[in-house]
Structure 1
Amino acid sequence: MRPYHHIPIVECGEALVEIPLQIFAVESPHPYEKLGAIYGEYSPYYLRQSVVENLITAQNYLELLHPHWRIQIFDGYRPVTVQQFMVDYSFATAVQARGLTEAELSPSQREEIWDAVYQIWAVPSMDEKTPPPHSTGAAVDVTLVDDAGQIVDMGSPIDELSERSHPDYYANHQHPEAQQYHVHRQLLNDVMFKAGFQRNPREWWHFCFGDQMWAWLNNQTNSANNFTARYGRIL
């Protein structure tokens, strides 16, 4: 259970719509599809209508600050089957990175690796009360592309299983490029927050609007708030 799972979901029925990719930068083919993930009816470049509208607003804010910069869409809607695929892939990758084999893992090793995976990945739950954020069409993973078309260096890649993924990791770090990385992360957060999004406290790239995490984060900022989620699981 995540702390936001107690937030009630009052599904509003808003449709998933395609992100107008001509406005943004995009990685093609999609990184998870390249690994073999099968999305089915909707591509990863779909989100709820209001989420798409807010994303366009964030892009407009970015351009006011940095003309010709773009928000790059890494991943949007993700069915639970893809969530399961990526959780399993991340576990296998983490096992390999440690020089281990899954069949020979001790219980403590297995527990440590799963804990690392679930620090980043939401549980692929089919419970309607605890949907993975991306499976609601309300969460999007993004980064920035500069006016030369280059991906802006955030100090760590999207989906990395380490503390470097935490948004403020470089705020007071001794790395020579730490302040630059932090400024880039703050710029991304600023334009997304101004457009109504909330950022995942564990992932500099993950932003949400209208799901349980978004409601919970809004409630954390002010004890008088009583936000509920408007988007539940799609598939």
Structure 2
Amino acid sequence: MILLSDPRVIDTPVADCGEPLVDISTAPDLILDPRERDEHGAYGRVRAGVLERLRSASEKLPAGIGLLVIEGHRSQAEQARRFALYEDRLRRSGISDPAELRRRASAFVSPVEVAPHCAGAAVDLALIDTDGVELDMGGTGNGHRTGDERWCPFDAPGLSSTARDHRDLLADCLREQGFVNCPSEWWHWSYGDRYWALLTGAPAAVYGPV
């Protein structure tokens, strides 16, 4: 598993294409969840190309199933705050080596200098039914915050067949549009950032911090 702290990620160049951040709420076929709402509404924005790919992915889902967007863009200050909080939690569990702290933290919170959310390139997602009820995904998004790390990896062992099918359905529609998954977080998908470029073999990321 390649984590976001891998040196190859930061070594990946960025050639930002200059696309603006746009509001997810402008896409009526996507549902924006308020649980990560921030003061400035950043959570509800992504790069224009990311939004178009999300809309195309949504169209590939079976009738009666939709995409729930939990969070999009995140400021660098907020990203740094979340990374520090998770490092502190790991430190309290007995991990003291700085390199190991960074590696373990990056399984669930990206180092700020390469964070896909800060580039407007990442979205945290789930599937919902026609009543807006979240489908069984085998664990909640951001489950690491509540100590549910066991269910966070996309390929977590022990998932029910229903949860497995739902994760696979989410993956199929997103991968078809070029998104990549951070495998330690089933809900986290990105397009155009450094991590995406490394995994796909692109010469450079097309989205940098914004």
Fold similarity call, TM over 0.5: yes
Residue 55, structure 1, aligned to residue 54, structure 2: yes
Describe how 1:1-235 pairs up with structure 2 within 5 A: 1-2=5-6, 3-19=8-24, 20-28=26-34, 30-31=35-36, 33=38, 38=39, 40=40, 43-62=42-61, 65=62, 67-90=63-86, 94=89, 105=92, 108-110=94-96, 116-125=104-113, 131-161=114-144, 162-170=149-157, 173=158, 178-219=160-201, 226-234=202-210
User: Residue 99 of structure 1 aligns with which residue?
Assistant: none
Question: Which structure: larger Rg?
Answer: 1
Q: TM-score, normalised by structure 1?
A: 0.75
Farther-moved stretch of structure 1 (160-169 vs 70-79) = 160-169
Q: What fraction of aligned residue pairs are identical, expressed as a percent?
A: 26
**CA deviation vs aligned residue, 1:180-235 (integer Å, no higher than 9, x gap):** 2111111001011112211112211111111111111112xxxxxx432111111x
Q: Which 4+ residue blocks in structure 1 deviate beyond 6 angstroms?
A: none
Within 1, Cα distance between the matches of 2:22 and 2:143?
28
The alignment's C-alpha RMSD in Å is: 2.4
Give the paired residue count: 198
Q: TM-score, normalised by structure 2?
A: 0.83
Secondary structure of 1:73 counterpart: strand
* Letter aligned with residue 198 of structure 2: W
Secondary structure of 2:189 counterpart: strand
* Letter aligned with residue 82 of structure 2: M
**CA deviation vs aligned residue, 1:16-61 (integer Å, no higher than 9, x gap):** 1111253222222x4253xxxx4x4x52111111111001001111
Provide closer, same or farther for how the CA distance between residues 8 and 115 of structure 1 changes in structure 2, counting only shifts above 3 A. Answer: closer
Q: 2:27·2:55 contact (CA, 8 Å) conserved in 1? A: no
Secondary structure of 1:216 counterpart: helix
Q: 2:42·2:75 contact (CA, 8 Å) conserved in 1? A: no
Q: 1:218·1:227 contact (CA, 8 Å) conserved in 2? A: no
**Structure 1, unpaired ranges of 5+:** 96-101, 126-130, 220-225
**Structure 2, unpaired ranges of 5+:** none
